[in-house]
Homo-oligomer: A and B are copies of this chain.
Amino acid sequence: MMSTPEGVGIPDVERDTTGEKLAAVRTLGAGAPVLAFDVGGTDIKSALFDVNGTALGLRRTPTPTAEGDRTAVIIERLGVLATELRAAHPDVVPQAVGLVVPGIVDADAGIGVFASNLGWHDSPLRDLASARLGLPVAFDHDVRAASWAEHRLGGARDYADAVVLVIGTGIAGAVLVGGKPYTAGGYAGEIGHSPIADGPECACGARGCLEAVASAGALARRYREATGVTPDGAKDVIARAAAGDQAAADIWSSALDALTLSLAQLTAVLAPQAVVIGGGLSRAGGALFDELRARLEARLSFHRLPVLVPAELSGNAGLIGAALRARELT
């Protein structure tokens, strides 16, 4: 729940024994060198961005585990990663750090309010990271940082009022209003945990959340529950639907209806100019985007329909957002 959705079984990078090196990301443009960390429940993405905004040493390493609150082991790991990056690139002297995490995040206060898969409650992550790293730290929510990156450099850059949806294992979202992230103390953007039906039960404790019906994770789970067959991720369910598998078709259609209802609500209330969709499910391409456009148009009347566009920064939007946030401190 509430974590950044990860991919759905479509690896876009190579793994090696020292963590996973990641493909080059879009550059930030010129500015101060900064360190950036995108901490998830499974992996930490890290990189050092130079004066050109090029990511150096970009890789993914496992998030260290611990009983309960993982704050201490993660902060320590950030210190090790930072030392390694600085040793490998001695000419690039970072001026600040960007750190983004999942869950409920109070960015202004620098606090990780809650993250079920990282075990913390009201953890003062910004100050702890700053003390360990000896640099000012910009702290933010992973998907809001990703949406900021999409706004500055990616699919949302033409739109001041936009919603970014990341559909993977879960569904996370962020709202941009007037070109700025709208946070509401960290509680805004929980589109994955907005109810759209009476069921099923969601891991968050509520029922009928969009994430429980329409995430990539839900598609795979629902197909397994319906047929007893474990599919190879959501993309397999969608492929089976296209090939005439009725159970797969029903599940995929109901997921599209749920996403449509959620987008219709967003359109009526916020009327964003664009909805930027990333995460593993967005790789379904036309099977997702064309269907959503057609169903949304059929569902509404006088409303101003948003443009539906794919996210452009792939799995690195959070890290790039962290780097952008760090640059704002310099």
Interface residues of A, Cβ cutoff 8 Å to B: 1-2, 104, 114, 161, 173, 175, 177-178, 182, 184-185, 187-191, 193-195, 202, 204-207, 261-262, 264-266, 268-273, 299-304
Contact = CB atoms under 8 A, between A and B. Distances in A.
B270 A175 contact: yes
Contacts of A301: 193, 202, 204-206
B304 A185 contact: yes
Contact of A269 (B1, B194, B304): B194
A217 to B, nearest CB: 18
Given A301-B206, A302-B204, A268 B182 contact: no
Contacts of A187: 271, 303-304
Contacts of A173: 269
Given A114-B302, A206-B299, 18 more contacts: A2-B302, A104-B302, A175-B270, A177-B182, A184-B271, A184-B272, A184-B273, A184-B304, A188-B269, A190-B268, A190-B303, A193-B302, A193-B303, A195-B261, A195-B299, A205-B301, A206-B301, A265-B265
29 contacts: A1-B302, A104-B302, A173-B269, A175-B269, A177-B182, A178-B182, A184-B271, A185-B271, A188-B269, A188-B270, A190-B268, A190-B271, A190-B303, A193-B268, A193-B300, A193-B302, A193-B303, A194-B264, A194-B265, A194-B268, A195-B265, A195-B268, A195-B299, A195-B300, A204-B302, A206-B299, A206-B300, A262-B265, A270-B270
Nearest to A161: B184
B195 A302 contact: no
Nearest to A205: B301
Nearest to A177: B177
A266 B195 CA distance: 10
A105 to B, nearest CB: 13
Contacts of A271: 184-185, 187-188, 190
Contacts of A161: 184
A53 to B, nearest CB: 30
A234 B271 CA distance: 30
Contacts of A206: 299-301, 303
A299 to B, nearest CB: 6
A273 B2 CA distance: 20
Given A184-B271, A271-B185, A271-B188, A302 B265 contact: no
A206 B268 CA distance: 11
Contacts of A114: 302
Nearest to A257: B198
Listed from nearest, the 6 A-B pairs whose CB atoms lie closest are A205-B301, A187-B271, A194-B268, A184-B271, A187-B304, A206-B301
A184 B273 CA distance: 8
Contacts of A202: 301
A187 B175 CA distance: 16
Chain B CB count within 10 A is highest, among A2, A184, A193, A204, for: A184
Contacts of A269: 173, 175, 188-191, 194, 265-266, 269-270
